[in-house]
Structure 1
Amino acid sequence: MRSPRAVLSRPKTLKARLVLAFVSVSVISAGAVGAAVYVSFRDALVTNAEQQSVDDVRSRIGILTPDLHYQSEAHFQPDQQELDRFRSALGGAALVTYGSVISADAGIAEVVSADLRGAVAAGNDLVYQRVSSATGPTLVIGTPIMLTALDGSRTPSGIDVYVVRDLASTVRTLDSAVRTAASAALLTLAAAVLLALLSVRGVLRPVRHLRDTARQLADGDLGARSRVPGADELAELAGTFNEMATALQHSVAELQQREANSRRFVADVSHELRTPLTTLNMVVHVLQSSVEGMGEIERESTLLTVDEVDRLTQLVADLIEVSRFDAGTARANLEEVDPRRVIEDCLDLRHWRDHVELTGPIDTVAVLDRRRVDVLVANLVSNALRHGQPPVQVTLTVDESTVRIEVTDHGPGLPESAIAQVFDRFYKHDTARTRSEGSGLGLAIAQEIARLHDGDITAGNSPAGGARFVATLPRFPRRIR
């Protein structure tokens, strides 16, 4: 699992990630090549310095050894002065031993290791060892001195020579090369960053065009198109994007036309039905006044017809109201009213005072559309009476800025799956119930009325059980639609 710090430090933009990837590849490549060159250069430089030191020591010893033959062939035994002269002639720091006789520069004995002494004592021609000293890396070269007779035979002289050569100059040369390489690497890194920015800018420009076009489409400009020149993959992506946008524009235009036709059809049919329904409503109510003299079958048929005509009349009225909201022609007729009085008149007109408990302040003033607030309350209370259980409670709250109307019942409440859809038109939670007692538009109309006042309605369940609808309206709207 990645740590939060790693997640936060990750570059968020595509540009930053591309530049980081480009620079990382450049740095890793340069580092790998530099490391390989450094190792090769270091090994070659040190090996060359060592070989030069070894060749120099071998040459000096080869020149100085014949001078040791001045003593008799039967007895070769150099003294302290002889060893001192031999050591001085070698040049640099050296250690020359012959048995117990030792000629050495100060501090050199500590540099010569026991392993190197043992290798020289074993009779090896010439051995050397790289060691670290207080002054830096040092090369210690050791060799036994061999005497060559007139017949060409070689015998050990008993003299062992150890020469110390300082490799500090070689290290300084290597450090200087490293500093030069580091400076070049920094310049290369800067060039890589600049090149990455230029490259990424060219790559991301078409992407930004696509982003801006997509944003225009999201804002509703379906005619926006992206123009990416060239024939690469991004140009192909832009072409595919434009084809998708064209298809989307055609589909949206077709859907909008169909929706407009449907709304126009509903509005036209509703208006055309209103006149004959008014006549039919008058006729059935005349028949209703005469049901006392009818037989049982005729009376039931007449009452059923009256109910159905009333329901159809309400449906047509709701459809006409919905068509006004859809067409954007609905306007709020605002006036100063007493919200408590508006609710009371709504309940009295529909004979609901015996079934509804009303609480709230009296003699307050708010700027509302009296008729539409009456419809809003009626739709919420009617829904509670039909689908909930008594008692139905209407709670009015008025503060400095809002009018809050809460309608609750004591029924089973709203299922969680229905809360988000309860304001949809013709929504039915019980799909098995094909016919609703109302028009199926009451809650949708109530929500439109609340929004017409720049308010809203929320649906949910009360803590005590039962459904709860809360309409919140501005007490003094700032604008009038």
Structure 2
Amino acid sequence: MRRFRLPLRSAASVFRPHAPRGLRVRLVVAFLLAAAFGALLTAGLTFHRARAAILDRAEETAVADLRTQLDSLAPDLTLPPTAEDLRGLTRQIDQAGGARAWRASASYRGGEPVAAAPGTPPVPDELRRAVQDSGRAVHQRTEHDGRPWLALGMPVAYTDDSGDTGTGTDTGTGADEDTHANTDADAGSLSGLTVYAVFPLDDDRADIDALVTAAEAGAVPALALALVPALFAARSVLRPVRRLRHGAERIAAGELDTRLDASGRDELADLTRSFNTMAETLERDAAELRRLEAGARRFAADVAHELRTPLAAMAAVTEVLDEDAASGVLPADTEDAVRLISEEVRALARTVEDLMEVSRFDAKAAPVHREDVDLRTLVTKTLQLRGWAHDERVRADLPEPAPVRVDPRRIDVVLGNLVANALHHGRPPVTVAVRVRGDRVEVTVTDRGPGIPDEALAYVFDRFYKADAARPRSGGSGLGLAIARENAALNDGSLTAANHPDGGAVFTLTLPSAASSLGTT
């Protein structure tokens, strides 16, 4: 015989949500989970109390009924009783049980219980030990043949000095957590007779199952009713969040004058006000930056424009002085000074021209005149114009036709700046290679120098950037690579910088290939 536990089916299986997506779904699911948890907790506590009340009532009633039967039947029993006397007593108790369907048995002085009805469930050993050890009435819930039963053990005691017997119990403890004690203030001396009664708890179990069924049936309507306030709560939370998202998208699109209506005193209203403050600050800072940038561009363009005329005059004068210096009519010190001035004037003139070109880029006013050409032809002309065609320091690798549609002047500027940069900052030989890659044409300029420092790779195309900050007088303005990248972009191309695995820097100019092939030149 094993101990009986009345089942409690969990209501958690009624609602098993899948992984939610979206803030609205998560809010609704969280609200419903909270409601379900509260309902489950309440139902569990209510079920526990109701179950305990039903079982306690059944136990108390059974103990009282059995005591009543013994009070009327035990005085007629002869002590010490025979087995037939015990069987007759249990038969009378079974007949008096009525609807409770007693299955009684009795024992004398620790003997085996004697039952009148066949098929009476055996008395649990722990219940018998508890009654014998304590001398008090004890009850225990058990299970037999898949049915719940309540087993009672009640010792019979003398109630007076005349020899009459009655039932007497005192506060006692059971053999385990399901065994309970009862009290009787009229307890006397024990007679050695113990009566056991076992009866089914089917009706009580049905009542408990009805409680569980009612709780499960009420869970779905409760969750359905909780869905309505959950949707309203999610809507009230998500409306300002949605407005904030739309506002952030408009600011990201450049509409810095975006403002949101802020009403209320909750956290979302405070967040909306903070958003408006942020947008106002961004708009003010962006306007100030645009003003400063426009002023800087205008200043650079105005300075470059104003310097062109005096620089042209200075260049003409230095050319005359260069001729005198070359003829040897000037003293040696004067000759050195003249050459120095000439170099600086030419460098300043190149810087001014670069600034003028940059100002045209910024103003989106740089003209582009496209032509269908072979990129190999542009590379060859660039090397010839700058005296690098027969220079052993520069090599050309032009294996196949590379048709492009570009502005030849601007591509010449790009190639000239890249080769000059490689000769100045790297080590020869400098290789200019042209390759066709599908619908793109690539020109790579590779040197054998130390390469570009890793920390400088991301900035080599910035204006006025020089990798060696300790040597600002490096012979260039720091605008050559920036102008080269701008010219590449004007021709729908790109310009990138990297380091070769074997050493040296690699600059790659990528241009779209022309639709028609031009053949070999």
User: Which category describes the TM-score, using the shorter chain as reference length?
Assistant: 0.7 to 0.9
Q: In the alignment, what sits opposite 2:214?
A: 180
Q: Residue type matched to 1:166 in 2?
A: P
Q: In the alignment, what sits opposite 2:226?
A: 192
* C-alpha contact 2:372 2:514 (8 A) present in aligned 1: no
Identity %: 40
- Of residues 116, 134, 149 in structure 2, which corresponds to 1:104? 116
- Of residues 180, 203, 211 in structure 1, which corresponds to 2:237? 203
Q: 2:459 aligns to what SS in structure 1?
A: coil
Shift in CA distance, 394/187, structure 1 to aligned 2, threshold 3 Å: same
- Of residues 349, 354, 361 in structure 1, which corresponds to 2:385? 349
- In the aligned structure 2, how far is the partner of 1:131 from the partner of 1:146? 26
* C-alpha contact 2:32 2:227 (8 A) present in aligned 1: yes
Q: What do the CA deviations read for 1:84-122 (whole angstroms, capped 9, x no partner)?
A: 7524532324334476994521221x4213444456667
- In the aligned structure 1, how far is the partner of 2:39 from the partner of 2:403? 79
RMSD of aligned residue pairs (Cα, Å): 3.0
- Of residues 294, 312, 329 in structure 1, which corresponds to 2:330? 294
- In the aligned structure 2, how far is the partner of 1:115 from the partner of 1:461? 87
Q: In the alignment, what sits opposite 2:63?
A: 54
Shift of 1:260: 0.6
Q: 1:77-226 residue pairs with structure 2 within 5 A?
A: 82-83=88-89, 86-91=92-97, 92-97=101-106, 102-108=114-120, 110-117=121-128, 124=135, 126-144=137-155, 153-154=164-165, 160-226=194-260
Q: 1:249 aligns to what SS in structure 2?
A: helix
- In the aligned structure 1, how far is the partner of 2:377 from the partner of 2:330? 41
Shift in CA distance, 163/351, structure 1 to aligned 2, threshold 3 Å: same
- In the aligned structure 1, how far is the partner of 2:83 from the partner of 2:446? 124
Q: Residue type matched to 1:49 in 2?
A: A
Q: 1:74-473 residue pairs with structure 2 within 5 A?
A: 82-83=88-89, 86-91=92-97, 92-97=101-106, 102-108=114-120, 110-117=121-128, 124=135, 126-144=137-155, 153-154=164-165, 160-291=194-325, 292=327, 293-353=329-389, 354=391, 355-361=393-399, 364-473=402-511
- In the aligned structure 2, how far is the partner of 1:253 from the partner of 1:477? 44
* C-alpha contact 2:395 2:429 (8 A) present in aligned 1: yes
Shift in CA distance, 45/351, structure 1 to aligned 2, threshold 3 Å: same
Shift of 1:192: 3.3
Q: 1:162 aligns to what SS in structure 2?
A: strand
Shift of 1:65: 4.7
- In the aligned structure 1, how far is the partner of 2:134 from the partner of 2:316? 138
Q: 2:288 aligns to what SS in structure 1?
A: helix
* C-alpha contact 1:96 1:102 (8 A) present in aligned 2: yes
Q: 1:457 aligns to what SS in structure 2?
A: strand
Q: In the alignment, what sits opposite 1:3?
A: none
Shift of 1:356: 1.1
Shift of 1:229: 2.4
- In the aligned structure 2, how far is the partner of 1:26 from the partner of 1:50? 36
Q: 1:420 aligns to what SS in structure 2?
A: helix
Q: What do the CA deviations read for 1:271-296 (whole angstroms, capped 9, x no partner)?
A: 22223322322222122222212221
Q: Which moved more, 1:176-185 or 1:321-330?
A: 176-185
Q: What do the CA deviations read for 1:169-192 (whole angstroms, capped 9, x no partner)?
A: 111111110121122233333433
Shift in CA distance, 151/332, structure 1 to aligned 2, threshold 3 Å: same
* C-alpha contact 1:411 1:467 (8 A) present in aligned 2: yes
What TM-score results when the alignment is normalised by the length of structure 1? 0.87
Q: Which moved more, 1:202-211 or 1:257-266?
A: 202-211
Q: In the alignment, what sits opposite 2:44?
A: 35
Q: Residue type matched to 2:119 in 1?
A: G
- In the aligned structure 1, how far is the partner of 2:66 from the partner of 2:153? 9
Q: What do the CA deviations read for 1:176-213 (whole angstroms, capped 9, x no partner)?
A: 10121122233333433443332122112212211221
- In the aligned structure 2, how far is the partner of 1:320 from the partner of 1:412? 32
Q: Which moved more, 1:283-292 or 1:404-413?
A: 283-292
Q: How many residues align?
A: 465
Shift of 1:405: 1.0
Shift in CA distance, 345/47, structure 1 to aligned 2, threshold 3 Å: same
Q: Which moved more, 1:425-434 or 1:296-305?
A: 296-305
Shift of 1:320: 1.0
Q: What 5-or-longer segments of structure 2 have no aligned partner?
A: 1-17, 167-189, 517-521
What TM-score results when the alignment is normalised by the length of structure 2? 0.81
Is it true that 1:22 corresponds to 2:28 in the alignment?
no
- In the aligned structure 1, how far is the partner of 2:311 from the partner of 2:107? 139
Shift of 1:414: 0.4
Shift in CA distance, 428/140, structure 1 to aligned 2, threshold 3 Å: same
- In the aligned structure 2, how far is the partner of 1:12 from the partner of 1:463? 47
Q: In the alignment, what sits opposite 2:7?
A: none
Q: What do the CA deviations read for 1:307-328 (whole angstroms, capped 9, x no partner)?
A: 1121111111111111111111
Q: Residue type matched to 2:103 in 1?
A: A
Shift of 1:370: 0.5
